Structure formats: C-alpha cells, structure tokens
Chains A and B, each alone.
Chain A
Amino acid sequence: MFLSKTTRKGTAATAVAAMMAIAPTLGAASPLGTDPIRLVIPFGPGGGSDITARVLAATAPEFCGPRIDVVSMSGAAGLEAVNFVRNATPNGHTLLVTDYGPIVTSGYVDDVDWSHDDWQPVMNFTEWLPVVYTRPDHAIQTIEDWVAAAEANPDTITFGHASPLGLVHLPLILFEMETGLRNVHVPTSGGGETRSLVMGGHIDLGMTLPPSIASEVASGELTALGVFSQERSPILPDTPTFVESGYDVVLPAWLMIFATSDVPAETVAFLQDCFMEALASPTAVAMSNRVNAGIEPLNAADSTALYQATVASIGGILRDIGEID
C-alpha cells in the first residue's frame, strides 16, 4: 500500500516536473492542442504492433492531452502508411509505429522519395527477438542438431518464414552467411501459416517472434531452438541464444515510434516524455504484462542510436546478398 502510494506520488511529481521543464520553452499551451494524435501502423489490425500501440493509445491521453487513435494502413506493403506520415503536417500529430521492415529495409530496396535521415525516432517500445522453432517430435531439437543435419544434407531442411527479406527471414540469411549452411527457404503468408505448416509436419523449421509461441513452448507443444539475440528472451527464458552456441548472429526487431525529421525538436521531446511516462504508469505496466508485449521503453536518444545501428547492419546484409549496391 505504502509502496504504491509513493509510486503514484512519484509519477505525479515527475509529471509535474516534466510539465514545468517544458512549460517555459513552449509558453502556456501544450504543443499538441486538442486534435487527436494518430499512431499509424503499416500492418493490418490484430498483430503484435497493433496490440502494443493500443497499450500506449489507451494510457497516454492522460499524460499527453489529446485522444490517441491507432490507424492501420497496410496498403502498398506498408509504404502507404509511411507516405501518409511523411506527407502529414509536421506537428507531431501523425506518428509512425513500425518495425524495421517498412522503414529501414524499404528505404533500401524500394523506390521511395525519402531517405533514412528523414525520420527521427520518438521512442522504442520493445525489442522482439526472432526465434527458430519446430514440433517436439521432430529429429532436430537444438541448434546443434540443426547445424549437424544441414551439414550432412545441405538443401534438404525446409524452413518456413514470412515474407522474403522481412524480419523473420533476414536472421536466417545472416545465419547462413555466417555458417555457410544451406536450407530450403519456404516463404509463407505469415506467422499463422508458418505455424500450421510446422505443426502439421509439412516443413521442418520455422521462425517467428516469441510472444506468439510462448505458451506452446511452455506447455511442450512446440520446441524453441534458439533466439537471434545477445541476451535470452525474457518470454522464453529456457531457450538458448545463437550467441551461446557460438554463432554471432544477432538481429533483434524493434518496434519504434517515428516522427518525420521536420517535426520540431521540442514537440518530439514532449511526446517522448509523455509516452515514456504513460508506459511507466501502473495501468500500462499491467496491460503490457497482460498482453505479453514485453514493453521496455527506450528514450529518443537511445532509440536513435539503435535505429542508426540497424540501418547500418541491414544495409550490410542487403549489400552482401546483392539486393542493393
């Protein structure tokens, strides 16, 4: 009881402090007014990005002022969402919530009229760690089994992944570049199809993001082989990383909020502060735990560093496989 009271007081105090810190630079008015904020996601509704963005949309209005709408625009493979945010008035009311696919990868391989520098991260929600999995009665149950089987019979192990060059395909490419192994890549229409192919025994391995298989792994209906990250996934604590097995393949997928670079710095700072506060609130933490979103917010500066690192590493991979020059 005592604890929760102080926390609440503490949050309130931070909020007041933040308001006071911003107030002098902006005058009396909040930079956001009353028009709703739109969080535009370049995917269809119902997926992980949508659910995570909705946690913010449900909790942030209290801290930021206006109402927040999550808008799903999956047209033109997500590029329509990116362009919508790009062409909106740069006042911080239209923000893009995306993983690196539609912004970093597309910025390289698609014919777009913006560059990676035209975007500034506002904050980062979380890092998803791509995980390789299979069914429990399959001969391959560990990373070592997989490597051994692929070395013995190259081009025989079928590996399901969502759209080519997406975030659950690039780690496989990187792993194959690192090890020289060869698998049969079977693109699917998404995580659901990959999973039914793996469970139905039609393919050997699949890749997905941890929240979607966590409960099946816990109950023994699926086996997670390994995670492409530096640290183990908090959702799959018993699954080793590829680094632990001696393969330096790390390609986590973040979920970041972006503004265009012409949005004023103080607006971005205000948004960052109120979003971070909202996500630290007890309601948001409870929601995040309930939906297994694993939200661990990063501020604008850290997100920018992460973004730039990803731009560099994805650029490297795409150059190596000859997608770009």
Chain B
Amino acid sequence: MNRFFTELLRRQDFYTGLVTILVGLVGLIDIAYGNWRPGPGLGPHAFPQLAYIALIIAGLAIWVDVARGKSDERPDYLRVTLFTGVVLVAAGMAMFWLAGKLGLGVSVLIALIASSFLLTREPLRHWPSTILVPVLATAVIWFLFVRIINVPLPRGLLF
C-alpha cells in the first residue's frame, strides 16, 4: 500500500491533477468569500463556479487515471522550452516598446536580425539568410503595417 502511494507521487500526472484541483478549490473559495456582486439571472459567479467544479472533477479524474497506471511522461526539454517562452515574451514586449521609441521598421529589423543570429550557426557566413532576408522582410512588413494599414502605434523617431 505504501509503495502504491510512493509510486503515485513519482508520476507526472499526479502533480498536474493536483494543480488542477488546487486551482478549482482556490476559485471556489474566492467565490464563497471574495467580493462578488449579485446580478440578475443566477449572478456573475454562476458560470465561473461551474468551471471550478469541473476543474476539480477533472483533477480527480486525472488522479483516477494515474492510479490506474495511466500517466503522461515528464516533458522533454522542459527548461529549454520554458526559457525560450519567457525570452520570446520578453523580446516581444521589448520590440513593442522599442517600436514606440525608434519606430516600427527599426525595431522589427533589430528583432529579426538578432533572432536569426541566435538561431543560426556561423551567422555571418550565412549572411543571405541572416541579414538579407530580415531586411527584405522588414521592408515588406513596414510597407504593409505603416504605409497601408497605418497601425496606430505611437510614432517613433526613425521609421
């Protein structure tokens, strides 16, 4: 029996189930004690409440699956992928912020060249794909978004 539980604790989906249940519980506690205004026809909390209950049930069902020996493996490349994600989100925000300072064209060009350099080995030797393509792509993007659509981004100093 004891081994059964230690075995469970080693399964990946034990934890995904746990997180699912916890999110549902926290949500239900928020609905019970949080600042929810009443509203006409069931009130604004009814659907979220239903979703939280569904989360808890789903979490328990994941546990049942785990107990029956059905669990997904620990993900490969977890750290690298998460790190890439955080970097991309930060880079996206930076590009957007830069677009307001330097202009859309310049920041897109910087973003494209920087990322091609990061992703290509010996970037200078492959200059057609790491410099020429980004320049062309930037020109097309600039023409589309600034000249034709005229996106309402704050104007930057350059292009």
Contacts and interface: CB of A to CB of B under 8 A. Distances in A.
A and B associate in one complex: yes
Interface of A: 36, 38, 40, 69, 71, 73, 84, 88, 185
Contacts of B35: none
Interface of B: 40, 150, 152, 154
Contacts of A84: 152
Given A38-B152, A73-B152, A185-B40, 6 more contacts: A36-B150, A40-B152, A69-B150, A71-B152, A84-B152, A88-B154
7 contacts: A36-B150, A38-B152, A40-B152, A71-B152, A73-B152, A84-B152, A88-B154
A54 to B, nearest CB: 15
Contacts of A36: 150
A38 B149 CA distance: 13
Nearest to B155: A35
Contacts of B150: 36, 69
B40 to A, nearest CB: 7
Nearest to A40: B152
A165 B40 CA distance: 14
A185 B41 CA distance: 10
A40 B151 CA distance: 12
Nearest to A35: B155
Contacts of A73: 152
Nearest to B40: A185
A88 B152 CA distance: 10
A185 B150 CA distance: 41
Contacts of B40: 185
A96 B140 CA distance: 31
Contacts of A40: 152
A186 to B, nearest CB: 9
Nearest to A69: B150
A69 B40 CA distance: 40
A40 B152 CA distance: 9
B152 to A, nearest CB: 5
Contacts of A88: 154
Nearest to A94: B152
B46 to A, nearest CB: 15
A150 B113 CA distance: 69
A63 B154 CA distance: 26
A185 B154 CA distance: 42
List 7 tightest A-B contacts by C-beta distance, closest first. Answer: A71-B152, A69-B150, A38-B152, A36-B150, A84-B152, A185-B40, A40-B152
A69 B152 CA distance: 10
Contacts of A71: 152
A36 B155 CA distance: 12
A71 B150 CA distance: 9
A71 B152 CA distance: 8
A69 B150 CA distance: 9
A21 to B, nearest CB: 31
A164 B150 CA distance: 34
B131 to A, nearest CB: 32
Contacts of B152: 38, 40, 71, 73, 84
Nearest to A73: B152
Nearest to B152: A71
B54 to A, nearest CB: 24
B53 to A, nearest CB: 25
A119 B9 CA distance: 61
Which interface residue of B40, B152, B154 has the most chain A CB atoms within 10 A? Answer: B152
